[in-house]
Amino acid sequence: MKIARLETFLTNAGLRNYLFVRLTADDGTTGLGEASLEWQEMTVETLVHEWVEGRVLGADPADVESVVDDLIRDQYQGGATVMTAISGVEIAMWDLLGKSSKKPVYELLGGAVRDRLPAYANGWYGGARTAAEYAAKAREVVGRGYRAMKLDPFGVAWKTMTPDEMADAERIVAAVREAVGKEVALMIEVHGRLAAPCAIEMGRRLAPYRPAWYEEPVHPNALAQLREVKQALPFPIAAGERLYMLEEFDQLISTRACDVVQMDLAHCGGLHAGKRIADLAHAHGLSVSPHCSVGPVALCAALHFDWAASNVAIQENFSEYDVPWRNDLVCGWNPIRNGEFILPDGAGLGLELDLDVCRAHPYKKNSFPALWDRSWLAQFTQKEGRPA
């Protein structure tokens, strides 16, 4: 079997655009991947066709590891855009292999190590401005069956925060903790906003509310600062969503700069790269929890990975807080039941695109301007939306 065709499909989902990749083999079998990347979807699409396509056409999908290793070696510059292009095609190759062999992808990755996987909700606080509004929305999350949720209470903070801004963030977290009780896990997302001294000061203020983890408190490449924050605070640190190369994860893990490793499988090279990262983390006694803030194909790929990786603790979920047409993009698959994930039925990833639904929601330029843009914050607090 050889890969004979590569197609891309770009569609809008509110604050995101999703870029799907479809491979077709010479026997007609297809494989689906996702290469969505905030603000850079059209650039990734160009790169997929300009550089990746010519290197995978004619390849045997069974050679996925060597094909992708060569792509990662030869891309030379590194970074999110090219690694996302590679990752999307890698995921599609696994789907193609699974469909050809009539096996789910998680079996190809080593087989199931679990039969249940908890989810943590994200994106649920779109529309909330006040601490009371956050609390009301948090109660709704618990009502759906979730026992974990994540929120960013920091507005558009950058490097430092005023005393009033710190007080506002603390009020939000305190209100959510009171609303959901002691047993629900609260992940505090910082989006790399703060310098280490401010991150430490803010973390100490949040310690009474028992964060399950403090996520990306400083710039993603500032590993020395990240380790400084980790050593200063009494709760776990999570990081890794904006790292892309295996060598970067080796530094993150070997220096023990975090407690939870959050590689994004749609950006770090795909599923096999994710397994390598998980193995590194396992050797150092660390858990992994893949980041996934994009579309349904990327989430499904993460779930197959999760089923086959023993040190996965929990999986991020936006699917219940996305646009109403999200599940229709992939023929209606809904991965969540009462706060836990299920796998789709069928070989490969178990998904197919509904191209009519994709076409009905065309690409929108800069639909999500920036996490530090007050116009975005106003949009997010006026209606349902979701940050990364």
Residues catalogued as catalytic: 191, 291
Query: ∠ at Cα 163 (162, 167), nearest 5°?
Result: 115
**Exposed/middle/buried for residue 20 (C-beta within 10 Å: 0-12, 13-18, 19+):** buried
Write b or e for each residue in 204-242: b if 16 or more Cβ atoms lie within 10 A of its Cβ, otherwise e: eebeebebbbbbbbbbbebbebbbbbbeebebbbbbbbb
Single out the residue of 82, 74, 211, 230 nearest to residue 148, CA to CA: 211
Which among 313, 295, 320, 304 has a CA at the least distance from the CA of 121?
A: 320
Give every CB contact of residue 73 below 8 A, 6+ residues apart in sequence. Answer: none
| Maximum Cα–Cα distance across the chain | 64
Structure tokens at 201: 């000061």
- Check: CB of residue 127 under 8 Å from CB of residue 153: no
Give dist(CA 157, CA 231) in Å, integer: 23
Positions of E strands within the chain: 3-13, 16-25, 30-34, 117-121, 148-151, 185-189, 213-215, 237-239, 260-261, 287-288, 315-317, 336-337, 340-341
Closest CA to 187 of 206, 166, 162, 161: 206
**d(Cα 4, Cα 135) in Å, to the nearest integer?**
52
Rounded to whole angstroms, the Cα distance separating 156 from 269 reads: 30
Q: How far apart are CA 175 and CA 185, in angstroms?
A: 14
Tokens, residue 323 = 């646009």
Residue at token pair 């079996």: 107
**Distance of alpha carbon 317 from alpha carbon 322, whole angstroms:** 10
